[in-house]
Amino acid sequence: MHRGKGMKFVGDSRVPANRKPNIPKDYSEFPGKTEAFWPNFLLKEWLVGSVFLIGFLSLCVAHEPPLERVADPTDAGYIPLPDWYFLFLYQLLKYDFASGPYNVIGAFVIPGIAFGALLLAPFLDRGPARRPGKRPLATGFMLLGVAATIFLTWESVAYHDWETQRSQGEIVAEVEVNTEAAGYAIYEEQGCINCHGANLEGGAGPALGETGLSPEEIAEIAVNGQGSMPAGLFQGTDEELQELANFLSDPAAE
């Protein structure tokens, strides 16, 4: 048999005598493409976070928070409003198919399906492409979620009764109320307390502690109504009406 024929090279068991230690690559080999995680990358992240935090704290100092009066669990007329990032879910609960007897659908089923679809999007579309056009499922779920959130948030803001919202949560200075006065008994008997509060602090209706109105003006409003208050709510006599008007004009009077 001639040399080299019928023979195959199957491996090489030679081990180099000089082994090189596991030294990480020099980042200078890739200028502008990569950098060390510590301290370069973390330092940049920390600087960006610091700028955002300082800006956020500056806004908090410059703009006072829109605080409301002390919460009253007995006030059934209060209309709650969540923070802006939950307004889309708040709006969803206003629709017939997601409220009332179907409240579970609006509170759990629909949000669960929506967030579940976003979580499953990377697993449903496992393509290696990075362009949005080449990843239709992931891109579609993302655009649908963003569009739904923006639309529901806009609907919630556009059709909310902001005037009532501001008035019902307005902080009102406490006033001294003479609960032993005859006018206060009429105030309770006529049901005024249900909307204006036991201490005239307001609720579903405005506060009556310091209206600045004369007894005649108060009597006219009690009979003819004003704003969202309809006419004909007062069902007492003229003497009781005058007593009530005098009390509301000066709640602390003996």
238: in domain: yes
Distance CA 238, CA 246 (A): 12
Same domain, 194 and 156: no
16 phi/psi in degrees, rounded to 5 = -65, 145
Range of the domain at 145: 84-160
pLDDT at 140: 86
155: in domain: yes
Q: Report how many domains make up the chain.
A: 2
Token readout for 185 is: 């008994």
68: in domain: no
213: in domain: yes
Q: What is the pLDDT of residues 57-76, one digit of tens each?
A: 999 899 877 777 777 777 67
Record the pTM.
Answer: 0.50
Distance CA 96, CA 160 (A): 17
pLDDT at 156: 92
226: in domain: yes
pLDDT at 46: 93
Same domain, 95 and 142: yes
The proportion of the chain whose per-residue pLDDT surpasses 90, expressed as a percent, equals: 16
Same domain, 155 and 187: no
Question: Of 10-24, 35-49, 77-91, 115-129, where does mean pLDDT reach its minimum?
Answer: 10-24
Same domain, 210 and 144: no
Same domain, 156 and 89: yes
* Mean pLDDT value of segment 247-252: 79
Which among 160, 191, 222 is the end of a domain?
160
Same domain, 150 and 195: no
Query: Is the pLDDT higher at 181 or at 203?
Result: 181
User: What is the dihedral angle through the alpha carbons of 15, 18, 22, 24, rounded to the nearest 10 degrees?
Assistant: -120
| Residue 170 reports pLDDT greater than 50 | yes
Token readout for 8 is: 């195959």
63: in domain: no
30: in domain: no
pLDDT at 27: 57
Question: Closest by alpha carbon to 66, among 76, 53, 81, 77?
Answer: 81
Same domain, 192 and 242: yes
Distance CA 58, CA 60 (A): 5
4: in domain: no
Q: What is the pLDDT of residues 75-99, one digit of tens each?
A: 677 788 888 899 999 999 989 988 8
Same domain, 219 and 152: no
For residue 70, give the DSSP letter. P
CATH number for the domain spanning 205: value is 1.10.760.10
Q: What is the pLDDT of residues 193-244, one digit of tens each?
A: 888 877 777 777 777 777 778 888 888 888 888 877 888 888 888 888 888 8
| Residue 152 reports pLDDT greater than 70 | yes
pLDDT at 1: 47
Same domain, 154 and 107: yes
Which among 93, 128, 160 is the end of a domain?
160
Query: Is the pLDDT higher at 112 or at 219?
Result: 112
Question: Of 103-117, 168-182, 222-236, where does mean pLDDT reach its minimum?
Answer: 168-182
